Amino acid sequence: MPLLMPVVLACLLFAVGIFGVLARRNAILVLMSVELMLNAVNLNLVAFDVYLRDQLLAGQTFTLFVITIAAAEVGLGLAIVLLVYRNRETAQLDDLHQLREDDPGPPDVRDDTRETAAR
């Protein structure tokens, strides 16, 4: 089998994952796209492991580790999404803009407001 087949497939899956992370608003759909990107990396690791005939099976072992870390990441990510949903009643990423500075005035005005807030 040409080495290009799995490697190009991994590149395409990674590109689709990038699109999903950037284009989706729902936090859980973003997590799904991250899973796609992790799968692309796993496919790369397995393909090069088989291609290089690694004696230590480093590629396949790292694939197992990445799968485990992905499971942990999804668990924690979903816990955070659920916490945000419980507090804000939304899972849309665009609605979480509390840290955004909406209308920055002149610098001296902002300093004043910051001091009053600190007081």
Partner 1 sequence: MTVVEVMFALLGVIAVGSAILVVTTQHLVHAALWLVVTLGSVAGCYLLLSAEFVAWVQVLIYIGAVVVLLLFGLMLTRAPIGQSDDLDSPLGQRIAAAVTAASAGAVLVASVVTSFRGERIDLSDDRVAGSTGDVGAAVFRSWVLPFEVLSLLLLAALIGAIVLSRRDVSAGPAGARMGVVDEFGEIAEADGVVR
Binding site for partner 1 (CB under 8 A): 1-9, 11-20, 22-26, 28-29, 31-33, 35-36, 39, 42-43, 46-47, 49-51, 53-54, 56-58, 60-61, 63-65, 67-76, 78-83, 85-86, 91-92, 94
Residue 103 Cβ vs partner 1, minimum distance, rounded to whole Å? 21
Residue 115 Cβ vs partner 1, minimum distance, rounded to whole Å? 23
The span from the CA of 28 to the CA of 90, in Å, is: 11
Residue closer to partner 1 (CB basis): 55 or 116: 55
Residue closer to partner 1 (CB basis): 12 or 96: 12
Residue closer to partner 1 (CB basis): 22 or 99: 22
Residue 97: in which H helix or E strand, if any?
none
Distance separating the N- and C-terminal Cα atoms of the chain: 69
Residue closer to partner 1 (CB basis): 4 or 109: 4
Residue 92: in which H helix or E strand, if any?
none
Cα angle: 10, vertex 38, 44; to 5 degrees: 35
Residue 31 Cβ vs partner 1, minimum distance, rounded to whole Å? 7
CA atoms within 13 A on the CB side of 18: 7
Phi-psi label, residue 106: left if phi above 0, alpha if psi -120 to 50, beta otherwise: beta
